[in-house]
Amino acid sequence: MKITIIGSGAMGCLFGGLLAEAGADVHLLDIWEEHVQALNAYGVSISSSGEERHIPVQASTDPKKIQQTDLALIFVKHAQTAKAAQTATSLLGKHGALLTLQNGMGNAEILTEAAGKDRVICGTTAQGAMILGPGRIQHSGTGKTVIGMWEGKEHCLLHEVAAILSNASLDTSTTEDIRPVLWSKLFANVGINAITALTNIRNGELLDLPETRELVNSAVQEALEVASAYDISVSPDALEQVFNIARATAPNRSSMGQDIDSGRVTEIEAINGYILDLAEKSGISVPINKALTALIKTLQSHYE
């Protein structure tokens, strides 16, 4: 199976590097020229548990230099999904598939419009990574990856993709209904990302003050109400799971926090903004998510 990683930032490099290390035929695609040059010259450097290893990879900034692919693994930010979808469909073979492990919601719909519902596989991953510099990442957390079809019939590559990822030390399982899994991840993002980004704290510090815990609680409760309105099946302990994730990732800076720190556009529209959009369509009031969305948008519009 030929695999192309579209969006080879921290997570793209983690998956691409581990796949390459396991012997997969993988090519990394990214727009950051210096990063791509470093990847080709030195391989991807993965730091984990105080150790650093270099894994040779193939990388490019030009999709025209990449041969027809069987699987396009999408890791770009939400704002770049439409462009990534065009690139991916131009590279896919006749029986190829797209797999998105992106943060937030709304990406699958964009990919489906470009490629068709029977070619779009969605998932979530508890793996974590941070960019340290061109060609260098920190593997900051491990965990399960779950994938499934967004809405079409089961793709012939679904179980093979799970096996290939698992063989690369990326423990992956499949599910017949991916939506509850995606929403569970969304609840965590809703409760953690914007608040940590705005307050310049790490995930575990959300638990330090009752006022902060109440803010997390309110944001997630609003998201749970929206999920119920759209008949999304959710775990009865969904809120507690968010706090457990904050504890388990206590030393980490959230992905949105990293974006704010680096002056990048965030994925607020695919997280709290997604909840706000669905709430407005169904007449539900979500004042906390509305405020968090507005504050992040204000902050990122005034980068120096």
185 belongs to the catalytic site: yes
As a whole number of angstroms, the distance between CA 23 and CA 107 comes to 29
- Which two three-digit tokens encode residue 271? 């997280």
Nearest to 29 by CA among 10, 6, 13, 45: 6
The position carrying tokens 């890791």 is 75
**What is the per-residue DSSP string for 143-156?**
--EEEEESSSSPPT
- What is the C-alpha to C-alpha distance for residues 98 and 166, in angstroms, rounded to an integer? 18
The neighbouring-strand residues paired with 92 are: 69
* Alpha-carbon separation of residue 9 from 12, 104, 132 (angstroms): 5, 17, 10
For 235, the token pair is 């775990």
Query: Per the residue annotation, which of 83, 185, 290, 297 is the catalytic one?
Result: 185
Q: Copy the structure tokens of residue 145.
A: 């990856």
Alpha helices in 106-178 (DSSP H): 107-115, 158-167
- Give burial (CB, 10 Å; 0-12/13-18/19+) of 42: middle
- Give one word for 199, left, alpha or beta, with left for phi > 0 and alpha for psi -120 to 50: alpha
Structure tokens at 261: 């720190």
- Separation between Cα atoms, residue 257 and residue 253, nearest integer Å: 6
- For the annotated catalytic residues, the residue numbers are 185
